[in-house]
């Protein structure tokens, strides 16, 4: 089966990038990869912390008020 021009260009670009990697240490190759982002945004982290700590504060206050009354 013959390659289309688009497939040929993609194959050439891939071959060129692979040829550039040859002979280099793995650490140099991995540096060029993208850094993974956190799976959850900082806003949602703050919301979760607020919900957990807020619930904890309310529970402690309830225990303290029940103790004194």
pLDDT digits over 29-40, tens only?
666 666 677 888
Ramachandran quadrant class, 24 (left: phi over 0; alpha: psi -120 to 50; beta: rest) = beta
Domains of the chain, by residue range, sit at: 40-69
As a whole number, mean pLDDT of residues 36-48 equals 88
Q: Is the dihedral of CA 26, 32, 34, 35 positive or negative?
A: positive
pLDDT given for residue 43 in this prediction: 94
Average pLDDT over the chain reads: 85
* Helix (H/G/I), strand (E/B), else coil: 23: coil
Q: Which two tokens stand for residue 61?
A: 């206050």
Q: How far apart are CA 53 and CA 59, in angstroms?
A: 10
Q: What is the pLDDT of residue 29?
A: 62
* Contact of 47 with 39, CB cutoff 8 Å: no
């Amino acid at each position: 089966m013959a390659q289309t021009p688009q497939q040929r260009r993609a194959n050439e670009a891939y071959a060129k990038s692979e040829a550039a990697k040859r002979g280099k240490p793995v650490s140099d190759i991995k540096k060029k990869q993208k850094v993974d982002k956190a799976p959850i945004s900082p806003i949602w982290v703050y919301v979760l912390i607020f919900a957990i700590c807020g619930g904890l504060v309310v529970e402690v206050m309830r225990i303290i008020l029940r103790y004194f009354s």
